Structure 1
């Protein structure tokens, strides 16, 4: 049974699936922070560039299979597979939402 992702988090995964960097960036607040692979990206422009680079460098598929709330964050666990080192892997996306947009996202194995 597929899981139901809340609002902007569903938009995030939909944009990621289509590799639409602009739609992806629009899911975030203007000064959002993303932490992925020990690197920090701050602001929509940096986030747009990060996802643009990732989607051209690697082919991947993300399949969310669990969602929970913890400490004011929404945590989505997803099976990530593709042509990147360490594939496949289950990762956790730790979302902080403010005003209907993603203010902070940390992606951890």
Structure 2
């Protein structure tokens, strides 16, 4: 998926599984968040790759406890039936204090197969 293939959509038009993940991640509900991923899912965040549900669950637990922050869904894009980008605005006690992150989702079988988080 390249940025030139993306088209803007209303944030509430994101697939239910993506919205479920974003809400669970926002409230730090690891059990609900991990249920949105395939067994062999891959998450890439902050230069690290996490493969498989167990590794993704460890990443979710660590991300939930490392910093205190709030998130706001400020934009969404779609490329085809399986590729979505959710733009989240974060504010908190992490270095820099504010950032807009792009959560790039690839879906398969109704779940998240791949998630890449980047500025």
TM-score computed with the length of structure 2 as normaliser: 0.84
Q: Which residue of 2 aligns with 1:96?
A: 106
Q: Which residue of 2 aligns with 1:73?
A: 83
- CA shift digits 1:2-32 (9 cap, x unpaired): 8303210110011112211111111100000
> After TM superposition, what 4+ stretches of structure 1 lie above 2 angstroms from structure 2?
none
- Give 1:66 shift: 0.8
Whole-Å Cα distance in 1 between the matches of residues 60 and 68 of structure 2? Answer: 12
Q: Which residue of 2 aligns with 1:24?
A: 33
Whole-Å Cα distance in 2 between the matches of residues 82 and 73 of structure 1? Answer: 28
- SS at structure 1 position matched to 2:18: helix
- SS at structure 2 position matched to 1:8: helix
Q: Does 1:55 align with 2:51?
A: no
Q: Which residue of 1 aligns with 2:43?
A: 34
Unpaired segments of 5 or more residues in structure 1?
A: none
- CA shift digits 1:31-54 (9 cap, x unpaired): 000000000001111111111111
- SS at structure 1 position matched to 2:42: strand
TM-score computed with the length of structure 1 as normaliser: 0.92
Whole-Å Cα distance in 1 between the matches of residues 62 and 16 of structure 2? Answer: 25
- CA shift digits 1:63-91 (9 cap, x unpaired): 11111113651011110111111220011
